[in-house]
Structure 1
Amino acid sequence: MEIRTRFAPSPTGYMHIGNLRTALYEFLIAKSQGGKFILRIEDTDQERYVEGATEIIYNTLKMTGLKHDEGPDIGGNYGPYIQSERMGMYLQYALQLVEKGEAYYCFCTKERLESLKVSNKEGDAFAKYDRHCLSLSKEEIQKNLDAGMPYVIRQKMPNEGTTTFHDVVYGDITVDNSELDDQILIKADGFPTYNFANVVDDHLMEITHVVRGSEYLSSTPKYNLLYDAFGWTAPEYVHLPPVMRDAHNKLSKRHGDKSFEDLVREGFLVEAIVNYIALLGWSPSDNQEIFSLDELIEKFTISGLSKSPSIFDIKKLTWMNGEYIKNMEFEKYFELVKPRLEEAVKTKTLDLRKIAALLQKRLETLNDIPRLVDFFDTLPEYGTELYIHKKMKTTEEIALTALKAAVPVIEGIDTWNEETIHDKLLALVAELGMKNGQLLWPVRTALSGEPTSPGGAIELADILGKEETLRRIAVGIEKLSK
């Protein structure tokens, strides 16, 4: 049997982390077993539809490499892949259940249903429909239909016994049928409910594995009873625990938590985001943490999924992002950072490739670039305390001596490159009887005006050029001489 999974988002805005994780796991379940990954757009909730949201879904899947085998944009044998384009079929399937005695027409008004909730002593959350319309005769039903009376179609739930289903992550789960409400299948506007459309579409598209959040565990018995009512085989269920902001709160855009688009805008690499999200609820059999998408496909197993909630740790993602940048092939890395460097570095004579090389081992996110390179254009205001460094054994007096001694040496360099600058400055260190740091730290500080910088004295001097190097050292000497 071919494995078929589907990502079925609603076009309601941004792609949140939990949604992307669901898509990733569905993709990995299919691809790790040579199966198909399908995209289906569930847009039957017209009130929540957001213009442009479908494009966000397409773009996210494209960016992350989660290439679908079938979908609205590429077609397939099981289309249409947009629920609103499948509208004609849902009512027909609901009527099949009515004919079989598994569903029934309900003509109750909104006011009557509200009164049921008010009269229920246990509160709204526990209010159940009282099956007022279940006993209507065929003649009464037809009379109401002929009169154009608004209606919904409800599923007839068993009153006794239990329903058990198996979940790959949570195991066997059993519920008392008495707890199940006669859920609506077709709404008064003719649109199917989310639960009903899901079951029909998953069956018709031959979906073998349904992956979704654990908040749908309570709805799954209703799904299974629908499959039973139709005489269909239910898929494998894979319910995922939530992704949490902390031990007590789920991730939520309303509370300022990041969406996928937010993370990309903040300078995180798509590959690192996907890698990190894969580990939010799944563990490999070894201790490997860095995975390409191909490696995830090779190593992924459903058995590695956890039932424990995962906490989204931005610090861990930041570390992982830095590892991706460090280990990236230089040309690919340079093409990635070049536009940001061109925007951040205004002095057009500076060698951006050299600056990029200095940054590669120091960047955590791409958004760090402006902060790390701004001193190349303009020497910031700084205090002489920066020249004091315990490990380098420098004081303001030693720094002043070092900078003054460096000026004639630098002025005498004819071939300006890293190798020559290195040789001349280290020769001066030997001549002065200093430690390397006692000369190089003051020069680095004078050139950057920062407590730390991407690159040391020699690399910074090479990039800034002879004239600017001497000008900045002169500023340092003036500061230290006061």
Structure 2
Amino acid sequence: MVRTRIAPSPTGFPHIGTIYQALFNFAWARKNSGNFIVRIEDTDRERLVEGAEKKIFEALDWFSLREDESPRRRGGYGPYRQSERLKIYSKYAEQLVEKGGAYYCFCSKKRLEELHKEQIKEKKSTMYDKHCRNLSEEELAQKKGGPYVIRLKVPESETISVKDEIRGIINFDSSLIEDSVLLKSDRYPTYHLGVVVDDYSMKITHVVRGEEWLSSFPKHILLYKYFEWPIPLFYHTPILRNPDKSKVSKRQGHANVDWYKDEGFLPEAILNFLGLLGWTHPDGLEEFSLYDFIDKFNLNNIRNVAPVFDITKLEWLNGVWIRKYSFEKLKEALEKFYKDDSSVKEIFESKHGDLLIRLAQSRMRKLSDFKDLAIKSPSKELSAKDKEIALKLFNKLSKLEVKQWNEEKILQTLRDIKNNEGISMKDIYFVITGREQGLPLIETMVRIEGRENILKKLQERSS
């Protein structure tokens, strides 16, 4: 059975990159009738943020990426928090020492700091110098009563070959790979030990994670080989980058999932957008649902390119999804988005509330656009030229009687003004509405404002 996972750390807000990885893992599990697991890597106790784990699951629920096993959905391979698995890691770390794949290290923090200072001074790589790697049994017996860590024993002077399903075979020089700590003195595992033990114990078949872990990949493969465990298939996805090629990092607002909620993005649009990063729909489509993505997605088709996280394109795609929504679904989304905004709630409750939503639907790129479209004040003062245009519009439109005040007649009148007076539709729109862009003009004049209000505004604006 296919078993995939994500393993976020509750050290801050949910990162959009976590959702990117979750999408691929979730889709592959669903496509193959497998299981998608969420494991919480909470062993970095100093950086833990209260409530962060809850936010992770809230984000997954918002995107409808529901897991099969996790701390909140118990399965047969738990516990699913690393802090609850400490005895498991200690057991396997000690086994690894017995197998000859790891060793005890008694170096003090002071010694390691002095070592690194000296290496920096000599312009060398800051790596552990293997001081404790070959201690005799007698030396071990003397030191064993004090604090120690367990380090990985990396083979010396070898080429370590690993296979990434996206990039193929990658070779690493073992002399450049550090004997990393696997188990810390407080008996908490480092990432290297924890991730391998957990993936093996939870029978993960496909490891889909970011390419930032490529440099650690040979260490993980060594662990699998030392333990003589089956090696899952590894897919290291390209890192999400901004248009300027910088990494989408936690220092930027748009890395936070909550930012997208607050801006009025739809979860369907975001998943659609993420699906296009590093993968191409086989039918060349740019707009597709999560269900279509699952049907067409294949891990082997992930491209080794640096996907550009273009917010402008996401906004366009979000507008497409807003227009895909039924009126009822859009109204529900807007009411939820503006639940704490009394001024917008008044619009929803007004006699034109539903009509305003229908008219705004074609103009919104985000839910947050609705307020600007519906009640935003004029964007700039009228110039003398604008006042002249207002007078010409008033003179022409006032000739239309009440029974002639319909979309066809108004459109023809405005076209005549444009052609005969040489006035652009952009200027006509601004003078009539008081803004440079907004709701569809003709529909607003007929169905929202009405003849009396439009003529009154034009008369006021012409003086």
**Same fold judged by TM-score > 0.5?**
yes
Q: 2:306 aligns with which of 298, 309, 317?
A: 309
Give the equivalent residue in structure 1 for 2:371: 370
RMSD of aligned Cα (Å): 3.0
Read off the aligned partner of 2:301 and give its amino acid letter: G
Percent identity, aligned pairs only, is 38
- Asked whether 1:405 is paired with 2:399, we answer yes
Give the equivalent residue in structure 2 for 1:135: 134
Q: Distance in 1 between matches of 2:244 and 2:443?
A: 48
Q: Structure 1 29/229 Cα, relative in aligned 2: closer, same or farther at 3 Å?
A: same
Deviations 1:10-65 (A, max 9, x none): 00111222221111111122222221110100000101111111011101111111
Give the equivalent residue in structure 1 for 2:101: 102
Q: Structure 1 125/224 Cα, relative in aligned 2: closer, same or farther at 3 Å?
A: farther
- Asked whether 1:426 is paired with 2:409, we answer yes
Note the C-alpha offset of 1:281: 1.2
Read off the aligned partner of 2:363 and give its amino acid letter: R
Larger radius of gyration: 1
Q: Distance in 2 between matches of 1:283 and 1:429?
A: 45
Q: Distance in 2 between matches of 1:89 and 1:111?
A: 30
Q: Distance in 2 between matches of 1:314 and 1:285?
A: 24
Q: Structure 1 385/13 Cα, relative in aligned 2: closer, same or farther at 3 Å?
A: farther
Q: Distance in 2 between matches of 1:349 and 1:71?
A: 45
Is contact 1:94-1:153 (8 Å) kept? yes
- Asked whether 1:223 is paired with 2:220, we answer yes
- Asked whether 1:167 is paired with 2:151, we answer no
Deviations 1:137-179 (A, max 9, x none): 334323323x3x1100111111132111110111100112222
Give the equivalent residue in structure 1 for 2:4: 5
- Asked whether 1:476 is paired with 2:461, we answer no
Aligned ranges 1:206-221 → 2 under 5 Å:
206-221=203-218
Q: Structure 1 121/8 Cα, relative in aligned 2: closer, same or farther at 3 Å?
A: closer
Note the C-alpha offset of 1:131: 2.3
> Which range moved further: 69-78 or 110-119?
110-119
Is contact 1:105-1:133 (8 Å) kept? yes
Q: Structure 1 435/66 Cα, relative in aligned 2: closer, same or farther at 3 Å?
A: same
- Asked whether 1:332 is paired with 2:315, we answer no
Q: Structure 1 18/402 Cα, relative in aligned 2: closer, same or farther at 3 Å?
A: same
Q: Distance in 2 between matches of 1:471 and 1:133?
A: 86
Note the C-alpha offset of 1:116: 2.0
Q: 2:448 aligns with which of 447, 463, 468?
A: 463
Deviations 1:413-472 (A, max 9, x none): 6xxxxxx7418x839979x99569989x899766632233312345434324x5xx5245
Tell me the secondary structure at the aligned position of residue 203 of structure 2: coil
- Asked whether 1:263 is paired with 2:260, we answer yes
> Which range moved further: 67-76 or 159-168?
159-168
Q: Unaligned regions of 5+ residues in structure 2, if any?
A: none
Read off the aligned partner of 1:401 and give its amino acid letter: N
Q: Distance in 2 between matches of 1:266 and 1:123?
A: 50
- Asked whether 1:239 is paired with 2:242, we answer no
Deviations 1:174-195 (A, max 9, x none): 1122222211111111111111
Is contact 2:411-2:442 (8 Å) kept? no
Q: Distance in 1 between matches of 2:123 and 2:49?
A: 29
- Asked whether 1:450 is paired with 2:435, we answer yes
Q: Structure 1 458/91 Cα, relative in aligned 2: closer, same or farther at 3 Å?
A: closer
Q: Structure 1 438/46 Cα, relative in aligned 2: closer, same or farther at 3 Å?
A: farther
Aligned ranges 1:46-445 → 2 under 5 Å:
46-120=45-119, 126-145=125-144, 147=145, 149-339=146-336, 340=338, 343-344=343-344, 346=346, 349-374=350-375, 382-383=382-383, 385-386=385-386, 395-396=389-390, 398-406=392-400, 409-410=401-402, 421-422=405-406, 426=409
Q: Unaligned regions of 5+ residues in structure 1, if any?
A: 389-394, 414-419
TM-score by length of 2: 0.90
Q: Structure 1 461/73 Cα, relative in aligned 2: closer, same or farther at 3 Å?
A: same
Note the C-alpha offset of 1:385: 4.0
Q: Structure 1 248/124 Cα, relative in aligned 2: closer, same or farther at 3 Å?
A: farther
Read off the aligned partner of 1:297 and give its amino acid letter: I
